[in-house]
């Protein structure tokens, strides 16, 4: 692995994740032979507005059952599986984190979706796929950890077939800096590389894409985090939650995201970018 992203890899490397999720499902009284996508949703959709956003993005993407889609930075594969389930597409997920990919594979097997949904542990900056391999690309909230955004976007463009589209749902910077840390994607500033929306747009175009859709989703994000309170005392964590992915300080991270949204330090965009 490239030396200077080791700390990002270790941030996304929880111990024994799959077994902790299985234990959580047991505590919630779920029968393992009948686990559903909805049962996993509190822990496996690690992006702002969770499954609600995933379903909106699926509509926006317009992917069809004959397509093979690449999910870049797929986490433990919640939206990867949802995308395959709702569209009938074949989806390949990649993520930097071996622990997430191991969990993604095992959860996919548990849901008996392994025929159509597969995973690889690799970096988004060096995809192990030939040029023009995928009909579409799907990437939800992973650019924040990527310093060389142009390299990531060029790599995304390279593996996409001509005529294909990339659906990106990404946190960007905003008018004010710096961020309050920690946030859900970073313990401190050494792991977070946000650019303002206008600069992000320029990078997408510089990588060779044409922007077909550009929606600012900051207001929806702000509303989703409007009621998050400053944590006090011992953390009050649910049985299943994204704290399992990035640590028990998730409430402080959510609170800082709330402040960063309110103080115009971060923004949220969704975009569809085309390869001609």
Ligand X SMILES: C[S@@+](CC[C@H](N)C(=O)[O-])C[C@H]1O[C@@H](n2cnc3c(N)ncnc32)[C@H](O)[C@@H]1O
Q: Which residues make up the interface to ligand X (CB under 6 A)? A: 8, 12, 45-47, 73-75, 78-79, 95-97, 100, 123-125, 140-142, 145-146, 185
Nearer to ligand X, 25 or 83 (CB): 83
Residue number closest to ligand X, CB atom: 75
**Residue 88, phi-psi category: left (phi > 0), alpha (psi -120 to 50), beta (remainder):** left
CB of 46 to ligand X, least distance (A): 4
Please, what sign has the CA dihedral across residues 80, 85, 86, 91?
A: positive
Shortest reach from residue 1's CB to ligand X, in Å:
10
Q: How far is the CB of 276 from ligand X (least distance, A)?
A: 25
In angstroms, rounded to a whole number, what is the distance separating the alpha carbons of residues 237 and 235? 6
Let me know: does 102 contact 131? Beta carbons within 8 Å. Answer: no
Whether residue 141 contacts residue 170, with contact meaning beta carbons closer than 8 Å, is answered with yes
Residue from 169, 187, 166 nearest 50 by CA: 169
Q: How many helical (H) and strand (E) elements, i.e. helices and strands, does the chain have? A: 11, 7
How far is it, in rounded angstroms, from Cα 23 to Cα 17? 10
Q: Are 165 and 273 in contact (CB under 8 A)?
A: yes
Are the beta carbons of 62 and 260 closer than 8 angstroms? no
Beta carbon nearer to ligand X, 25 or 144: 144
Cα(58)–Cα(77) distance, rounded to whole angstroms? 15
Complex with ligand X: residue 81 or 201, whichever CB lies closer: 81
Minimum CB distance to ligand X smaller for 100 or for 134: 100
Minimum CB distance to ligand X smaller for 67 or for 186 = 186
CB of 62 to ligand X, least distance (A): 19
For residue 185, the minimal CB distance to ligand X (Å) is: 5
Rounded to an integer, what distance in angstroms lies between the CA atom of residue 97 and that of residue 102? Answer: 9
Name the minimum Å distance from CB 252 to ligand X.
Answer: 16
Q: How far is the CB of 95 from ligand X (least distance, A)?
A: 5
Closer residue to ligand X, CB minimum distance, 9 or 30: 9
The nearer residue to ligand X, 25 or 33, going by C-beta atoms, is: 25
Q: Supply the DSSP string of 213-227, one letter for each residue.
A: EEEE-HHHHHHHTTT
Phi (first) and psi of residue 273, to 5 degrees: -115, 135
């Amino acid at each position: 692995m490239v030396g200077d992203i080791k700390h990002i890899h270790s941030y996304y490397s929880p111990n024994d994740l799959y077994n902790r999720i299985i234990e959580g499902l047991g505590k919630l009284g779920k029968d393992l032979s009948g686990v559903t996508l909805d049962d996993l949703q509190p822990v496996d959709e690690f992006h702002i507005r969770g499954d609600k956003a995933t379903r909106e993005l699926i509509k926006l993407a317009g992917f069809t059952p004959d397509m093979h889609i690449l999910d870049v930075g797929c986490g433990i594969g919640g939206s990867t599986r949802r995308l395959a389930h709702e569209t009938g597409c074949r989806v390949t997920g990649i993520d930097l984190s071996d622990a997430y990919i191991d969990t993604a594979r095992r959860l996919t097997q548990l849901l008996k979706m392994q025929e159509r949904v597969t995973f690889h542990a690799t970096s988004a900056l060096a995809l192990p796929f030939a040029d023009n391999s995928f009909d579409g690309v799907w990437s939800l909230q992973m650019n924040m950890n990527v310093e060389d955004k142009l390299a990531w976007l060029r790599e995304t463009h390279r593996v996409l077939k001509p005529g294909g589209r990339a659906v990106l749902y990404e946190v960007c910077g905003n008018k004010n800096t710096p961020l309050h840390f920690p946030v859900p994607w970073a313990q401190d500033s050494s792991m977070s590389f946000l650019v303002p929306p206008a600069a992000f747009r320029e990078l997408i175009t510089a990588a060779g894409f044409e922007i077909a859709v550009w929606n600012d989703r900051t207001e929806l994000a702000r509303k989703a985090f409007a009621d998050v309170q400053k944590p006090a005392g011992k953390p009050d964590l649910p049985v299943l939650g994204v704290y399992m992915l990035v640590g028990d300080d998730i409430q402080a991270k959510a609170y800082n995201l709330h402040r960063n949204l309110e103080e115009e330090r971060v923004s949220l965009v969704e975009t569809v970018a085309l390869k001609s």
